[in-house]
Amino acid sequence: MATQNKEPGPDDILRPILNTSKWYYVAFGAASAVVVVFLAAWSYQLENGLIVTNLGDWGSGGGVTWGMYIGAFIWWVGIAHGGIILSAAVRLFGMDKYQPVARMAELLTLGALSMAGMYIVIHTGRPDRLVLSVIPSYPWTVQSSPLAWDITVITLYFVMTATYLGLTLRYDIYRLRDRLPDHFDLLYRFILIGYSEKEDKIIERMVWWLALGIIVMAPLLLHGGVIPWLFSVLPSMPGWSGAIQGPQFLTIALTSAISGVIILSYVCRWAYDWQHVFTDEMFRGLTKWLGLFGLLFVWLQLQQIINGVFAADVAAEQVMVAKLEQPVYIIAMGTMVVVLGYIFAQALDKRVFSLNRSLVASIAVLYATLSEKILFVVEGLQYPQFDLYANVPGTYIPSPVELASLAGTLALCTLFFLVIIKLFPVVELHAVEGHDDGDGGGDGGDEEVTA
Amino acid sequence: MSTDESTDNDEPRHPYETDESFHPMGKEWEDQMREELEETDYDADLGMEMAKDAQRLVAGEISEKEFYQSYHDDVQEEFEVDDRPLFEDLDGVDPSDFDDDQSMFEALKDIDLEADDVSRRDMMKKMGAGAAFLTYGAYATQQNGRSDEVPQLVENLQTKEKNREHRWGMVIDLERCDGCLSCVSGCINENGTSTGANWMYVFAYVNEDTDQANFLVRPCQHCSNAPCEKVCPVRARHTREKDGLVLTNYETCIGCRYCQVACPYGVNYFQWGEPDTDLSELEHLEMRPEKVRSMDFDERKEALQTAAEDGDHIYDERGWWTDSRPPTGVMGKCTMCPSRQDDHTESPQGTVACQDACDEAGMSAIHFGDLEDEDSRPNRYLRKRSENVEENDRHFNDEDVVEGEDPDMWESTTNWGRLSSFKLLEDLNTQPNITYLGNEPGPNDKQVDPAEIREDPEKLDTPVSYEDLTGQDRWGNQVVDNRKEHLDYGPSGPPEEEA
Ligand code: SF4
Ligand code: SF4
Ligand code: SF4
């Protein structure tokens, strides 16, 4: 790729804002169409109730209570939390090689968190009451309900990420203001309120501290704690309970987020000729990280399998055996093994690496994590401790309305990116300025830079 | 000694002390202490002062000696005694142990303040108010020393005990149940639940090894430590302080179904679609719930009693919509018929519809009542049953006594004689309020699949199937066992000929 040696500059990061190709319209149109279908399906649900899903009552009822909505919810939260951890790590440890994707990861966090929030609304039977019911009881429920904790951290992380993004955006917008389109002037002026160049140093410190906060809190407040506690604290569902869920959720979050970032950067690189911004080297690095976290994910699955089948009690064994016999699970884990095979082969031999293969691997990983999460929710509920009922395990296959929500949130998230990419640079000015110093693109530039 | 506002300024403050309250558990708690003390014949101000200093004692600001000296005279005066019989009657606490190196708070800690079956009110009566003052100190000690053992929800700790009048529950004699499903039908008739939402669910299960068929009668267990309540993000699922009923506020529930997920027993039934029974059939008050709630207690009671003549029973005495079937998108489950327990309906307090139906069928397997009341139906039934068992035992003993053998070896070891009793999944610490008599299901037991019985009635001798109950209640609702099959028809319901 000849263009790779070109120095990236502000022109590159402004290109998406100033130029619009026909593919942009195609993507926008397609995503909007899917969103319309999803909205239609959702209105159908709002009109008739959750009976349009294939969910049911566990127990005598023969169904499962939570299904794809909750599975997809934790998947989106996972991507979001992984994204913010990634970007924080880049800033905290000065991993310059990945700086071009830092903002992308933050945007992914915002998009994914919004989708997770949306799933809460889709999932509940009475979304009309959400605000009026949740707020007045909050001082009490926050003490005991993991669901209230979830709502809290989702809000908290949305605010933190937006702050983070806002702070770093000011630097860029101030410097690129004359070249940004005037029709968004109001937006830019809003972002720049009270800006002066003197603040840059302070902001840099603030961002560093925020990053530190995010990393430190990750195990507890993000996918390592609050989200898995939704399940792991319930002793009556042996498929869920247990302290391993924290680490398991966290590795899945990181695996999914890296995949998401790889996919997004791949598309941008293709669309805007960013070979010199998102270098092959960077993709190789991301692929390696994907391998590391993917390995942790598979390792923790193995831990659970061994614990579930080797002399476990009746209920725990039943759920594990069922899981191992479930084709969806076998496919998901098989996919992970193949992906890991590729990643380690390319680590050993550079020639095995290709951008397209990494893209396929990322898509496969996202499929595997999503299906694992949905299965985790469903099978947990199918194999409760109290399984005397003939209708336990209950049956569940997502209904078209539920599937539409998945397509719909994916499309919405795409739309979110398509809009954002027109508003401000999705790659930081710092990232392309840094290359001016002459250390860009090369090998091993990241290790020595750690603070 | 009485409260003197000005002294507050000079004294070192307890670390917990805020302008509002000296007690770590807050103002509300403090006010409630005062209220309770005022109900006694003793000096409430003195009690509050003692409780406050007890807090300081706990914080190490004053010694026990100082604390005791400063109240010695007051206590003597108040209770007209010389020998400080504060701990009279209290098991396990000896006043003479009470010196400098034996902490009275340590002693007080041993009292099981959180024991479910002793209300604080009773304890106060038993202990005398003086000791009760100190008990508040002990609460403080507990709060400090073993903070993890103090229930998180202060509100629960105080109100549940304070206003508790009853603890409703059941004794269900599985040995009397023959699976006639009368209770199931009775419940549907009372509450208008939708197809497959069998709040009361009775089923046959067989033991793998013995092939013996047993019935399990499964309403909601109305757990005293209900996980469903803890997880609810909006406090719609709650325990009613007055009588321990675990109810759902149908007006605030957001339908997240976390309660259903957290309940270990699978007793919750969500309203996935439109309810089968229309609200207009259930309610004739023609008032918005807010209106009902805004009335004062007597006014509301009267209105609700009048409405009950039309068969209404959707509001409980707080004016909360917690009774009858839930609306769309809201969680439902067995309620233990709160309108009856509030005396709003023609049916007397202390009865439930499923029990009525069971009695009518001549089975009398369900015994509902106040578990705190020695003479309630469930407690009387338990006594009677254990007497019968003992009687049989004795009979058996007399015949079988072998010389040289201790005849007492046949003495019963369980609470109710050798009567086999159990609570479901007690290990999970849910503290269910349903006690079963009969065989406890084992880990490998399984319900006999009703679908299989339908195909092959020989398989098990059950008198009635769920499908047979269709149209038997006053709403003419369809009844099925497997709700999922019914839900799969979607919003429009099953095709006509099947309905
Ligand atoms: S049985 Fe289930 S629903 Fe009923 S109180 Fe206990 S936990 Fe809650
Ligand atoms: S379904 Fe309703 S009652 Fe149950 S936890 Fe959710 S909000 Fe609470
Ligand atoms: S107590 Fe009331 S709500 Fe519960 S099963 Fe019996 S009749 Fe139904």
Can you tell me which atom of ligand 2 is nearest the CA of B231?
Answer: 5
Task: Please check whether residue B204 is in contact with residue B447, taking contact to mean a CB–CB distance below 8 angstroms.
Answer: yes
Rounded to the nearest 10 degrees, what angle do helices B27-39 and B129-145 cross at?
160
Q: Is residue A253 part of a domain?
A: yes
Nearest Cβ partner for B256 among A124, A385, A387: A124
Contact present, B322 and B335 (Cβ < 8 Å): yes
Closest alpha carbon to A287 in A366, A371, A370, A357: A357
Please give the residue of chain A at the shortest CA–CA distance from B261: A65
Task: Give residue B311's region: left, alpha or beta (phi > 0; psi -120 to 50).
Answer: left
Rounded distance from Cα B187 to ligand 2 centre (Å): 22
Look-up of token digits 């998009």: A111
DSSP class of B80: T
Put simply, the chain B residues between 74 and 103 with a CB less than 8 A from any chain A CB are: none
Selected residue with higher pLDDT from A406 and A136: A406
Q: Closest residue (by CA) to atom 1 of ligand 3?
A: B336
Neighbours of B439 (CB within 10 A): 17
How many Cβ pairs within 8 Å bridge chains A and B? 192
B485 to chain A: closest CA residue: A62
Angle between the N-to-C axes of helices A68-92 and A355-382, in degrees from 0 to 180, rounded to the nearest 10: 130
Residues 6+ apart with CB under 8 A from B462: B179, B204, B453
Using one digit for the tens of pLDDT, what is the confidence trace for B205-219? 987 777 778 899 999
A361 within domain boundaries: yes
pLDDT digits (tens, 9 = 90+) for A46-66: 999 999 999 999 999 999 999
User: What confidence tier does B14 reach under pLDDT thresholds 50, 70, 90?
Assistant: very low
A3 occurs within a structural domain: no
Domain of residue A269 covers 13-446
**Dist. CA A98 → ligand 1 center (Å):** 50
CB of B255 within 8 Å of any CB in chain A?
yes
Q: What is the mean pLDDT of residues A283-310?
A: 93
- Does B15 contact A at CB distance below 8 Å? no
* Predicted local confidence at residue B99, as pLDDT: 45
Q: Rounded to whole angstroms, how far apart are CA atoms B419 and B438?
A: 8
What b/e sequence results for A281-319 when a residue is b if at least 16 CB atoms lie within 10 Å of its CB, and e otherwise? bbbbbbbebbbbbbbbbbebbeebeeebeeebeebbbbb
Average pLDDT, whole number, for chain B?
A: 75
Per DSSP, the residues of B311-359 read T---B-TTS-B-SSS--TT-EE-----HHHHTT-SSSPTT--HHHHHHH
Higher pLDDT, A348 or A435: A348
Nearest-CA distance B28 → chain A (Å)? 14
CB contact residues (below 8 A), chain A span 199-238, against chain B: 234-237
A120, A377, A388, A399: best to mutate for the B interface, most B CBs within 10 A? A388
Please give the average per-residue pLDDT across B262-290, as a whole number.
91
Q: How far apart are CA B301 and CA B292, in angstroms?
A: 10
**Tokens standing for residue B26:** 């807050």
Residue entry with tokens 């100082």 = B66
Is A4 domain-assigned? no
Please determine, for residue A308, whether its predicted confidence score (pLDDT) is greater than 90: no
Within-domain flag for A134: yes
Bridge partners for B434 per DSSP: B170
> Which two structure tokens, joined as six digits, stand for A429?
């000015």
B147, containing H or E segment: none
* DSSP output for B221-260: ---TT-HHHHH-TTS-EEE-TTT--EEE-TTT-----HHH
- Retrieve residue B455's tokens: 């195909």
CB A151 within 8 A of CB B254: no
Q: Is B256 in the pocket of ligand 2 (CB under 6 A)?
A: yes
For residue A247, give the CATH number of its domain: 1.20.1630.10
Rounded-to-integer distance, Cα A74 and Cα A119, Å: 9
- For residue A393, say if its preceding peptide bond is cis, omega within 30 degrees of 0: yes
3-state secondary structure chain A: CHHHHCCCCHHHHHHHHHCCCHHHHHHHHHHHHHHHHHHHHHHHHHHHCHHHCCCCCCCCCCCCCCCHHHHHHHHHHHHHHHHHHHHHHHHHCCCHHHHHHHHHHHHHHHHHHHHHHHHHHHHCCCHHHHHHHHHHHHHHHHHHCHHHHHHHHHHHHHHHHHHHHHHHHHHHHHHHHHHCCHHHHHHHHHHCCCCCCCHHHHHHHHHHHHHHHHHHHHHHHCCCCHHHHHHHCCCCCCCCCCCCHHHHHHHHHHHHHHHHHHHHHHHHHHHHCCCCCCCHHHHHHHHHHHHHHHHHHHHHHHHHHHHHHCCCCHHHHHHHHHHHHCHHHHHHHHHHHHHHHHHHHHHHCHHHCCHHHHHHHHHHHHHHHHHHHHHHHHHHHHCCCCCCCCCCCCCCCCCHHHHHHHHHHHHHHHHHHHHHHHHCCCCCHHHHHHHHHCCCCCCCCCHHHCC
CB spacing of B271 vs A394 below 8 angstroms: no
Distance (angstroms) between ligand 3 centre and the Cα of B41 equals: 42
Distance CA B67, CA B16 (A): 18
List, in sequence order, the alpha helices (H) in B361-420: 377-400
Q: Does pLDDT of A316 surpass 90?
A: no
- Residue B217's beta-bridge partner residues? B202
pLDDT band, very low/low/confident/very high, at B78 (cuts 50, 70, 90): low
* Secondary structure (3-state) at B128: coil
Instruction: Tell me what pLDDT residue B398 has.
Output: 56
Length of chain B: 499
Neighbouring CB atoms inside 10 A of B107's CB total 19
Least-confidence region, from A187-196, A338-347, B108-117, B156-165: B108-117
Interatomic CA distance for residues A386 and A393, integer angstroms? 11
Decide which of A311 and A385 is more confident.
Answer: A385
Q: Which of A158-167, B51-60, B227-236 is least confident?
A: B51-60
Q: Is the distance from the beta carbon of residue B336 to the nearest atom of ligand 3 less than 6 Å? A: yes
Interface list for B 103-142 with A (CB within 8 A): none
Amino acid at A319: V
Note whether B239 and B160 are within 8 A (CB).
Answer: yes
Residues of A in contact with B462 (CB under 8 A): none
Quote the number of domains for chain A: 1
Cβ-nearest to A49 among B231, B274, B441: B274
Give the integer Cα–Cα distance in Å for A78 and A80.
Answer: 5
Q: pLDDT exceeding 90 applies to what percent of chain A?
A: 61
CA distances from B53 to A400, B113, B123 (A): 66, 20, 22
Question: Which token pair is B289?
Answer: 């719930």
**Coil, helix or strand for B39?**
helix
Strands B237-239 vs B246-248: parallel, antiparallel or unpaired:
antiparallel
Q: Are A339 and A365 in contact (CB under 8 A)?
A: yes
Q: How far apart are CA A256 and CA A250, in angstroms?
A: 10
Q: Output B443 or A306, whichever has higher pLDDT.
A: A306
pLDDT tens digit string along B160-175?
455 688 999 999 999 9
One-letter amino acid for residue A384 of the chain: P
Interface probe, candidates B153, B232, B269, B272, chain A, greatest A C-beta count within 10 A: B272
- Out of A48, A61, A151, name the one closest to residue B273 (CB): A48
* Distance in Å, alpha carbon of B452 to nearest chain A alpha carbon: 10
Position A191 in a domain: yes
Retrieve residue B162's tokens.
């304070």
> Residue A311 — very low, low, confident or very high, per pLDDT cuts 50/70/90?
confident
% pLDDT > 70, chain B: 62
B268 CB neighbours in chain A (<8 A) are 57, 59, 65
The C-alpha atoms of residue A311 and residue B361 are separated, in whole angstroms, by 46
- The shortest CB-CB distance from A386 to any of B196, B255, B425 is to B425
Mean pLDDT of B65-78: 63
Model confidence at A404: pLDDT above 70: yes
Q: Which residues contact A203 (CB under 8 A, 6 or more apart)?
A: A167, A168, A170, A171
Whether B481 has its CB under 8 Å from any CB of chain A: the answer is yes
B256 in reach of chain A (CB within 8 A) = yes
A198 CB neighbour count, 10 Å cutoff:
8
Virtual CA dihedral for B389, B394, B397, B399, nearest 10 degrees? -110
pLDDT of A40 reads 97
- The more confidently predicted of residues B127 and A270 is A270
Count how many residues are written for chain A. 451
Does the residue A311 lie in any domain? Answer: yes
Contact between chains at A66 and B428 (C-beta distance less than 8 A): no
Least confident of A99-103, A122-126, A316-320, B98-102: B98-102
Contact A217, A161 (CB under 8 A): no
Q: Do A125 and B330 touch (CB under 8 A)?
A: yes
For residue B402, the one-letter residue type is: V
Q: What is the ipTM of this complex?
A: 0.90
State the pLDDT at residue B42: 62
- Domain membership of residue A39 (yes or no) is yes
Residues of B whose CB is below 8 A from A48? 273-274, 490-491
Is the pLDDT at B128 greater than 90? The verdict is: no
Nearest of A69, A226, A218, A238 to residue A146 by alpha carbon: A226
Q: Which residues of B touch A58 (CB under 8 A)?
A: 260, 266
> What pLDDT does residue B12 have?
37
**b/e per residue B177-195 (b: at least 16 CB within 10 A):** bbbbbbbbbbbbbbbbbbb
C-beta atoms of A140 and B155 within 8 A: yes
Q: Does the beta-carbon distance from A130 to B254 stay under 8 Å? A: yes
3-state secondary structure of B220: coil
How many whole angstroms separate alpha carbon B258 and alpha carbon B236? 11
Sheet bearing B201-206, strands edge to edge: B213-218, B201-206, B446-447
Whether A56 and chain B come into contact, CB under 8 Å, resolves to yes
| B229 CB neighbour count, 10 Å cutoff | 23
Look at residue B45 in the predicted model and tell me its pLDDT: 74
